[in-house]
Structure 1
Amino acid sequence: MDAASNRGVDEMASLLERAVYAPVNARFKVYMIDEVHMLTNHAFNAMLKTLEEPPSHVKFILATTDPQKIPMPAVHIVAHLQKVLTEEKLGFELQALRLLARAADGSMRDALSLTDQAIAYAAGQISEEAVRGMLGALDQHYLTRLLDAIATSDGAEVLAIADELAARSLSFLLALQDLSTMLHQIAWAQVAPQSVLDELPEAEDIRRFASLFSPEQVQLYYQIATIGRSELGLAPDEYAGFTMTLLRMLAFYPANTAGARPTIAASQASQASQASQASQASQASRPVESVPELAQAAMPNPVDVSTPIDSLMALGFTEHDWPSLVARLPLRGLVKELAYRSELVRIEGATLTLKVSVAQLAERLQVEKLRTALTEYLGKPLKLVTEIGAVTQTAAVLDAAQNVQRQQAAEQALAQDPFAQALMRDFDATIVPGSIKPVQPTNISNI
């Protein structure tokens, strides 16, 4: 749209009426407005609200030689507020202006309006504390305490901080937003330390957390915070949604990061490992059992990573144990399908031969990824060979058989339930075919 020749309010109203409808065959509607400064005041005011809060499917590209009329970057808003307040001889703190600029969300008009409110609220001296109180923004001290508590897995301190925020009626939505912003700054401090400006009040804390957390941790916590913020409206209340988000940060940890902090899950894993070692020690003193019994007993415990691949057969590991081993591998996507739908047909030294019924699953990329996962899990390098043919003993086949057994058991249990029998007898009730769903088994070691 050429704003120089379509500068009236009628043309702009027509454009905005069309903008509200989602595109038919694309993700976005993109409006390019050239010479946008040529729009009349009424036309620009008509589109101003849409520019500040556009629909998710609309993108505006504005070309102008008059940047005073369009949404501005926060750094420009801060510079302009500094100039205005200096000329008005009003005291201010730079961090307070940054908060006002972020709250204005690109609108200089809103920034000036918020600044007027801050002057009245703070009785002339625009301080960071006053602006935070006016906006309901989170004190930086709470963020540093939260991250320190998460770093030490101090759940009691995390809950105490959440209670303090609730007692002060601070916004949990803004708390997650500020936490995401700080994690973003920490992530960049790890990659580009010069990105942390010394004039930032939180610069020292950002650098400290950049060395305290691994890059994988920061990325994980950032994702948890942003997802938790988007799900806050789905929670029973904001307090529950906020605290559950923090609990995720305490519960999850990148698996491949060195120096992992102790967590509840890690403690349980350690206990399970000790129990597994005790079980293996007791089994070592007993005679070797038959292959099916050995395979069944080995399912809860992973293969010892110190076991050389060429000695698996000596320990009784056979082709029949492949489904139980596959179930414990951390696989996903096509690699998981390859493992679940393949059958181990031979073990020859350090070479495993798999038979696959679907040739597309046996492509080199999937096979290499599966070989890497097996090597990491077993602790020894190995070679993986695939063949195309009919399969019988796969993890997918066994899972399907177990699902059928669970379904039959659930249907039989309901049919024999006295309460269900009474309902059918007294009220002529019937069981809707296909409505019975078996309860999925729970792995106690994961609780």
Structure 2
Amino acid sequence: MSYVVLARKYRPRSFDQMVGQEHVVRALSNALEQQRLHHAYLFTGTRGIGKTTVSRILAKSLNCTGPDGTGGITAHPCGVCSACTEIDADRYIDYIELDAASNRSIDEIRDLIERAAYKPGIGRFKVFMIDEAHQLTKDAFNALLKTLEEPPEYLKFVLATTDPEKMLPTVLSRCLQFNLRPMAPQTVHEHLQKVLAAEHVPHDEPSLRLLSRAARGSMRDALSLTDQAIAYGGGRVDEAVVRAMLGSVDRGHARRLVEALAARDGAAVLATVDALRAMGLSASATLEELASLLQQMAVEQAVPGALDAQDPDTEDARALAGVLPPDETQLLYSIALHGRSELALMSDEYGALTMVLLRLLAFPPAGAAPVPPRETPRSAPLRAPSPPAMTMPVAKVAAPVAPVAPPRPAPVAPVAPVAEPLRQPAASAPAPVRAPAPVAERRPEAPAPVPAAAPERAAPRHDDLPPWMDEEPPLEGEFADAVPAPARAPSSPEPVPEPVEAMACEPAADEPPPVERRPRPVRRDEPPAPPPRTPLGDRWYALCQAMAERGAVSALLRELAWQGGLAEVDETATPQRWRLQVERESLRTHALREKLAAAMAAELGAPVDLVLEPGSPEDTPARRDAWERTRRQQEAEHTIRHDPVVLELMRQFPTARLVPNSIKPV
């Protein structure tokens, strides 16, 4: 007799032998005992959890005649009558199984409907079982609807599918649906113990735990893996054999990874990954084992003592539960879980595994001081350091001519220590500039006493932009202007000078002479410096514009003309000799030179000898156009920023800001 695989040999033949599907067994058993039978059943669930098995047991329960041939519908088929034995042997004429994966067209369904018109040959009911029913075509489903809704009293339909979402709603509404659940690893473990004991196969407990977890809730997969393990181990099932067969990662590797990550030891993480590479262990299996360990750690952290004491892996989870805080445990679990999908994105899965594991080290532990952000080159002009000896408090300035204004509340300190513009008396020349003190000196915790002479702040004007209206770090004076100023004593009218980016102050009597003034950073509203213009550049720019308007230059030819700078023109030569400097070598080709010379000759009305030579010209049409675009853009931004309506709206809505790139010149 040929060998029968374990998945077929130990297939349940009655509801009493079913494991892990108690909710389905109970519902069907009660319906059979009370004779409350539906005409169509739909069993859904993943592979290998018993959909076809339940269908066969249901067919036996409907047609069982008992050992003496006098039995009726029962929830406990005898297993010895002709109906039970022939259904188990798959040769009962009134039980028809149709595989919709290979018989999915309307022709097969029409044949099934024709057979439904005939009464059962030997049984009590005809049972039509359609496996993988979601693969039927839409036409096949529509052809089946009428018969499925009102079948003859002797006909029962059983549909099984792994993807009920693809079933037509009209089919789902005509069926009594049961969802078979994936089985728990403990349930699979207990069943495998019984099977191996019945087969007299020596085994150990760790091997069964590995097999039950690898089955992922499918009893058929568990029995198939057990068959494979028996063959791989030469008739014995032990942990080393099963681990080698499945490519599983030992719990010790996951434990070492957790310890290294908890200690923020990147070198230990890399050493563990190198060890996994040397042993050829799967990176995906490593993350799976790590996620399993973290799951047990999280359970122990939330409910101490809730883990199964019989499981040998429990000790590792309990020992490691204290090395990571609960939030980092959850974070690392999510990283390991989602990292499995990233392994296939790299050719080196161990490199991807390293990146996934090092991701936790990128997050600082709880309570650690955050790393201060680095200064960007953009903000460097506003944060230029000054010598310590040159610093002075804000309050130590000379008294202005105007009456003293009452003190104003200190504005919110900006991110970067920058200077604040102050007004100066009308009769005095601009005072020398001193470098500002650090933020810690200028913003003491307790308010300092107001000195006898304090400078009067300038009234808000359009040149003092609120901080929300610029992408650059705001000036302190701009912060103050954004806050409504309190009432102040009237002062004599005086001209308002241009705002400066550094603090303007006069040295006090006890102060040393003023130091060298700090350079004033360029504001966004100031136009950029124009490129140098030469007479040859003017002539070349006019010629290029004329050729462009006539359509004589385009694509690369236009790029050559716009990137070139005219270095020399010799009109006495025949033909005229024009020498053009071009920086990009890819534009200095013979074909482009000939085309540009022909276009120039057509525009000038005389032959041209064009010479292209390497160089970095400063006056080119491209530079002029770029400067003109920048100038028009800044003019447009300046117009919007200084519009009275915009300023009023910005002061009414402090959180609003203007996005410069959204402003386009007309």
| 2:201 partner SS | coil
User: C-alpha displacement at 1:139, in angstroms?
Assistant: 0.6
What residue in structure 2 maps to residue 252 of structure 1?
363
Q: Is residue 107 of structure 2 the alignment partner of residue 16 of structure 1? A: no
For the pair 1:235 / 2:340, whether they are aligned, the reply is no
Partner of 1:195: 306
1:150/1:250 contact within 8 Å kept: yes
Q: With the length of structure 2 as denominator, give the TM-score of the two structures.
A: 0.38
Following the alignment from structure 1 to structure 2, what is the Cα–Cα distance between the partners of residues 320 and 231?
48
Q: CA deviation at 1:115?
A: 0.8
The match for 1:169 among 275, 280, 283 is: 280
Residue 217 of structure 1, CA deviation: 0.9
Q: Which amino acid aligns with 2:392?
A: P
The one of 300, 306, 318 equivalent to 1:207 is 318
Q: Tell me which of 480, 483, 487 is aligned to 1:346.
A: 483
- Residue by residue over 1:21-54, the C-alpha shift from the partner in whole angstroms, topping out at 9 and shown as x without a partner, is xxxxxxxxxxxxxxxxx876xx65xx46x69xx9
- Residues 74 and 424 of structure 1: CA distance in aligned 2, closer, same or farther (over 3 Å): same
Q: Relative to 1, partners in 2 of residues 1:86 and 1:160: Cα closer, same or farther, differing over 3 Å?
A: same
Q: Confirm or deny that 1:180 pairs with 2:291.
A: yes
1:178/1:421 Cα in 2 relative to 1: closer, same or farther (>3 Å)?
same
What residue is the counterpart of 2:330 in the other structure? 219
Instruction: Give yes or no for the alignment of 1:73 onto 2:184.
Output: yes
Instruction: Flag the 1:241–1:64 CA change in 2: closer, same or farther, 3 A.
Output: same
Q: TM-score, normalised by structure 1?
A: 0.54
SS for the counterpart of 2:264 is coil
Which of 215, 219, 222 is the aligned partner of 1:108? 219
1:323–1:210 CA distance, 2 compared to 1 (3 A): farther
Q: 1:63 to 1:297 in 2, by over 3 A?
A: closer
* Counterparts of 1:73 and 1:227, CA distance in 2: 23
- Cα distance between partner residues in 1 of 2:137 and 2:583: 58
Give the counterpart of 1:129 among 240, 246, 252: 240
Equivalent in 228, 232, 245 of residue 117 of structure 1: 228
Q: Any stretches of 5+ residues in structure 2 without a counterpart?
A: 1-37, 44-54, 56-96, 99-108, 110-129, 139-155, 167-171, 376-383, 398-409, 419-437, 451-456, 458-463, 474-478, 486-523, 529-561, 566-580, 594-620, 627-666
Alpha-carbon shift at residue 343 of structure 1 (Å) = 9.8
Q: Tell me the distance in 2 between the aligned counterparts of 1:286 and 1:172.
A: 58
Q: Is structure 2 residue 295 aligned with structure 1 residue 158?
A: no
Cα distance change on mapping 1:296 and 1:161 into 2, 3 Å: closer
Higher alpha-carbon deviation: 82-91 or 103-112: 82-91
Q: Is the 8 A contact 1:295 1:320 kept in 2?
A: no
Could you tell me whether the CA contact under 8 Å between 1:187 and 1:218 is conserved in 2? yes
Task: For residue 90 of structure 1, report the CA deviation from its aligned partner.
Answer: 3.1
Q: Do the aligned partners of residues 313 and 14 (structure 1) sit closer, same or farther apart at CA in structure 2, a change above 3 Å counting?
A: farther
AA aligned opposite 1:423: S
Instruction: Give distance in 1, aligned partners of 2:386 and 2:315.
Output: 51
* Residue aligning to 1:423: 586
Give the superposition deviation at 1:245: 0.9
Cα deviation code 1:44-83 (max 9, x no counterpart) = 5xx46x69xx99xxxx999559x7xx74232221111112
Distance 2:221 2:333 in 1: 29
Cα distance, 1:129 vs. partner? Answer: 2.6
**What amino acid does structure 2 have at the position aligned with 1:286?**
T
Q: Percent identity?
A: 33
Equivalent in the alignment of 1:287: 392
Does 2:417 correspond to 1:298? Answer: yes
Paired positions, count:
309
Letter in 2 for 1:135: L
After superposition, the Cα gap between the structure-2 partners of 1:15 and 1:191, relative to the gap in structure 1 and judged at 3 Å, is same
Distance of aligned partners of 1:147 and 1:295 in 2 relative to their CA distance in 1, 3 Å threshold: closer
Change in Cα spacing, 1:64 to 1:271, as seen in structure 2 (3 Å) is: closer
Greater mean deviation of Cα atoms: 203-212 or 422-431? 422-431
Whose Rg is larger? 2
Change (3 A) 1:296 1:132: closer
The one-letter code sitting in structure 2 at the alignment partner of 1:16 is Q
Task: Note the residue ranges of structure 1 that are not aligned, 5 or more in a row.
Answer: 20-37, 273-278, 329-341, 349-400, 406-413, 435-447
1:171 deviates by 1.0
Opposite residue 298 of structure 1, the aligned amino acid is P
Aligned-residue CA RMSD (Å): 5.4
In 1: Cα distance, 2:484 partner to 2:336 partner: 46
User: For each residue in 1:340-395, what CA deviation from the matched residue of structure 2 results, as whole angstroms up to 9, or x when unmatched?
Assistant: xx9983399xxxxxxxxxxxxxxxxxxxxxxxxxxxxxxxxxxxxxxxxxxxxxxx
Question: In the TM superposition, what is the alpha-carbon distance from 1:123 to its structure 2 partner?
Answer: 3.6
In structure 1, what is the Cα distance between the partners aligned to 2:389 and 2:327? 40
Question: CA separation in 2, counterparts of 1:312 and 1:62?
Answer: 81
Shift of 1:91: 3.2
Seen in structure 2, the aligned counterparts of structure 1 residues 71 and 270 have a Cα distance that, compared at 3 Å, is closer
CA–CA distance in 1 between the matches of 2:233 and 2:356?
A: 34
Question: Of 259, 263, 273, which aligns to 1:148?
Answer: 259
**Could you tell me how far 1:177 is from its partner in structure 2?**
1.6
CA distance in 1 between counterparts of 2:207 and 2:386 reads 64
